[in-house]
């Protein structure tokens, strides 16, 4: 197997493509078949392939709880809140590639989802997911009641919470070990720098962290 992963080094040594066998080789082969490259996050999980497979199962289960558009929009906001360049880049790319949102709207969402031409229910769920990602213990009953008032069922609300909680596991795993965005997604790799949401940027201005 011959493929490069990233010119930017992580904090740990991952399994090289030409040394990948067994479960890791299968992970890399799947990336090459579906993406055309080995993603940086896949490379990190070459160190724990069983956990990667468990994550894939969890991610699929969470995705099935809602339409793809909602899942991707909520994921971008969660990844933005967590300062994860790689996840923002990857899911922004998916949004654009699948026609979920044009690049201009994706950029607006990363800047501030309150001013991106979204439906009120989408904005409200994004607010919830952002809170779950960075401050889950402060979610209040009143916030949940407001979501119900918008016509959301309890199952819909819980599904959104799961997006934020699951993304926290994945993004934090990548960020803790310096995983950069996949260089092949160069068109979306700088999007996190646009973030201006107070919950993300704080008083210092745009976020400059990274993720996959």
- Tens of each residue's pLDDT in the chain, 212 residues: 445 555 567 999 999 999 999 999 999 999 999 999 999 999 999 999 999 999 999 999 999 999 999 999 999 999 999 999 999 999 999 999 999 999 999 999 999 999 999 999 999 999 999 999 999 999 999 999 999 999 999 999 999 999 999 999 999 999 999 999 999 999 999 888 888 654 454 433 333 233 33
Q: Enter the pTM of the model.
A: 0.88
Determine the Cα–Cα distance for residues 91 and 178; give it in Å rounded to an integer: 18
**Contact between residue 130 and residue 73 where contact means Cβ atoms under 8 Å apart:** no
Q: With the C-alpha atoms ordered 83, 184, 34, 23, is the resulting torsion angle positive or negative?
A: negative
Residue ranges covered by each domain of the chain: 17-60, 67-204
- In the structure encoding, which two tokens stand for residue 178, read together? 């310096």
For the chain, how are helix, strand and coil distributed in percent, rounded to 5?
A: 65, 0, 35
Q: Which fold has domain 67-204?
A: AhpD-like (1.20.1290)
Q: What is the DSSP string of 123-148?
A: HHHHHHHHHHHHHGGG--HHHHHHHH
């Amino acid at each position: 197997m011959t493929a490069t992963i990233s010119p930017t080094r992580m904090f740990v040594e991952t399994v090289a493509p030409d040394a990948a066998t067994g479960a890791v080789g299968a992970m890399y082969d799947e990336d090459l078949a579906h993406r055309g490259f080995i993603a940086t996050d896949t490379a990190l999980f070459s160190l724990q392939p069983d956990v990667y497979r468990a994550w894939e199962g969890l991610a699929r289960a969470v995705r099935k709880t809602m339409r793809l558009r909602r899942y991707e929009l909520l994921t971008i906001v969660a990844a933005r809140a967590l300062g994860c360049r790689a996840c923002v880049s990857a899911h922004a790319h998916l949004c654009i590639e699948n026609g979920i949102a044009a690049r201009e709207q994706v950029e607006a969402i990363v800047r501030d989802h309150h001013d991106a031409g979204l439906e009120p229910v989408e904005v409200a769920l994004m607010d919830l997911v952002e809170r779950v990602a960075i401050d889950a213990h402060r979610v209040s009953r009143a916030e949940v009641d407001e979501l119900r008032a918008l016509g959301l069922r309890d199952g819909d609300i819980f599904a959104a919470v799961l997006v934020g909680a699951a993304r926290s596991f994945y993004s934090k795993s990548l960020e803790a070990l310096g995983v950069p965005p996949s260089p092949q997604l160069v068109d979306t790799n700088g999007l996190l720098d646009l973030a201006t949401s107070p919950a993300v940027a704080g008083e210092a201005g745009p976020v400059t962290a990274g993720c996959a």
